[in-house]
Each structure stands twice: as structure tokens, then as C-alpha cells.
Structure 1
């Protein structure tokens, strides 16, 4: 169960690295606009805000990666809880798709970590 938990934590970390890249570097391009359903005008106007969001997603990824390097599931629990809360908030305020992309993987990883702990 410990290996499964680590793999799931790694998957959530990779998801958040990808979100960082989308929000910080691809926001104004076709991929970012397609992913987030924005127009070129909106993407240009909101690029700084998106980059800020991307940075926060990077911090979540860094915390999850650190939990794997330090081999300490208490870090993983904290950062997975942060992802779950952020995902629920995002699903309620932005798009339900966030629930499936962010919250469900983090919740599954959290359950695995708690079972392995």
C-alpha cells in the first residue's frame, strides 16, 4: 500500500507541475486558451493573475515532491489536504472539471497515504 500511496502522491505532484506550466507559461497560447476556455483578449489581460495561480500550484507540487524525498507522509497529508480544499473551492467557483482533475486524484492519494500510514 505504501508504494501505491507514493505513486498517487507523485501523480498529484505531476498534475500540479503541469498546471504550473499551463498557467505560468502557456496561458496566452492556444493550449492555455483551449484548456481554460479563454479568449486571446482575456488571456492577455489575466496573464499576471494566472501566473500567480501557477506559482501556488508549483508550491503544492513542491510540497508533495518534498514529502516523497523526505519519505514523510505527514507532509503529504498536509499538501494533499490543501489540494483537496483548493479543488473543492475551484469546483464551486470556477468549473466542476476541477473536481475531477484536481480534487479526486488528491482525495484518492490522501486515502492511500492514510491507509499506508
Structure 2
């Protein structure tokens, strides 16, 4: 894997580790502020956000496997899958929640995909 692609993939992975934490263990404190929710609204959406955090954890797992798996072909497949899923999830999030998600998730993932495929 080219160094630049690995570096961007690590950045995407770390962004998603942070998102997992925001949507799960930090949701009632930092997560609530980041997502701009009142305490009342946060209580209502907390179960759904925790579930969403779980799914983001799967993206982290795919990217981690892509970075660590010893077989280069399998690692590349995990990287392609993980980055593509992040890009698609970011597009969906931008369309349904906030356009900011496009820049936080999709753009880094697409850059990583481009570097990986170059």
C-alpha cells in the first residue's frame, strides 16, 4: 500500500474511532454538544445513536484489518471496502443529516480511495 494511501486511511480510521466514541460512550456529554442536541432530544435519540456508533465501529474494523492484515491482496480488499463504505455513508449522511458530513467523512475516504487505486 502506498504511504500516502496508508496515511489517509489511518486518518479516516481515527476520525471514525472518534465518531464511534461520540455516538456511544460520550454521547450524553461531548456527543450531545457536537451534534447540537438538547438534553431532552439526546435522551430520545440516544439508542439510535448508539446503534449508529456500532455500525461505525464496523467501518473502523474493516479499515484496521486493511492496515494490519498480513496478506496484501486481502488487506487491499478490506481497505477498498472500508473506504468505499465510509464514502457512501458520508454521502447518505450529507443528504439526510448535514452537508458537513460530506467533508468530514466522504472527502477523506474518496482521497484515500484515489490514492489506493492510483
TM range (shorter): over 0.9
Structure with more contact order per residue of length (Cα contacts < 8 Å, sep ≥ 6): 1
1:75: how far off? Answer: 1.1
Counterpart residue number, 1:111: 114
Please state how far the C-alpha of 1:81 moved relative to its aligned partner. Answer: 0.7
- 2:63 is matched with 64
Q: For residue 36 of structure 2, what is the aligned residue in structure 1?
A: 37
CA shift for structure 1 position 88? 0.2
TM-score scaled by structure 1?
0.93
| Match in the other structure for 1:26 | 26
Give RMSD over aligned pairs: 1.1
Runs ≥4 residues deviating over 2 A: none
**SS of aligned partner of 2:27:** coil
Matched, 1:90 2:93: yes
> If the length of structure 2 is used for normalisation, what is the TM-score?
0.93
Structure 1 unmatched ranges of 5 or more: none
Q: How many pairs are equivalent?
A: 114
Q: Deviations over 1:63-85 (max 9, x none)?
A: 00100001421211111111111
